[in-house]
Amino acid sequence: MLTRKAYKYRLFPTKTQATALEQTLRLCPVVGIDVGLEHFANLSTGEQVTNPRFFRKSEKRLAKAQKRLAKIPKNSPMRRKFRKPVSLAFRKVRNQRLDFAHKLSHKISNTYSLIAVEDLQVKNLSKRAKPKEDESNPGHYLPNGASAKSGLNKSVNDAGWSLFLNLLEYKVANTGSKLIRVDPRYTSQICPECGAIAKKELSVRWHSCPCGCEMHRDTAAALVILARGLSGRGTIPRSPATLAAGE
């Protein structure tokens, strides 16, 4: 049973629900996953998967190849020769990203019986910044952070969250596990221990709550994601250590 009081959400399981859940957690490991840019994936167990940043690592080499290509006239027979390194560089990044997503999704789908992830709309996250017109000076525009947003968009696309989540959904169907997509709103703001909202700026990477809960903000978000995935099962896992022990 889920109840709400002020800004706190708490789950009060019945005795039957609690017993069934304890048996499920012991026999079938569960996990919540929060994808990000600092780390590609943050698991509710406390594990953090490094973000490989394949495009960022190849960006300088790719820029040089594109610069050489731009110097060749469009109708020149040499253009095909200089276009090939650009195509190969993009193909390498694409293959690296696909291989990484395959291996990680395979590992997770074969390790956990229930996986909770955010129902992200990645296309919306990587949209261009909208022009900001100066109302006091028609025809002129104010700074809208387009440069910073462009860099963020590039990092989001480089991470390949959609590819990973789609592959995970496909592999989970073959292993018999269950994938649950949950509402992503406020997952990084809610305390996984007491359910209170602890507002944080994006630059703040540590979750600290008056209730005494202290952990990396992405691990806390992963626990909240798992709690939402398990909301119909009657409890909120309390800590990464508890989840790892299956207690």
- Which sequence positions are flagged as catalytic? 34, 118, 218
Strand order in the sheet with 30-35: 48-50, 39-43, 30-35, 114-118, 178-182
And the tokens for 155?
């990092």
Task: Describe the chain by its helix, strand, coil percentages, rounded to 5.
Answer: 50, 20, 35
Q: What is the DSSP letter of 53?
A: -
The CB-side HSE value for 208 (13 A sphere, CA atoms) comes to: 4
**What number of other Cβ atoms are within 10 A of residue 173's Cβ?**
12
Residues in the chain: 247
> Can you state the angle between helices 146-159 and 54-70, rounded to 10 degrees?
110
- How does DSSP assign 139-180, residue by residue? T-EE---HHHHHHHHHHHHHHTHHHHHHHHHHHHHHHT-EEE
DSSP symbols for 209-240? -TTS-EEEHHHHHHHHHHHHHTGGGT-----H
Strands 30-35 and 114-118: parallel
Structure tokens at 54: 């394949």
Kind of pairing between the strands at 30-35 and 39-43: antiparallel
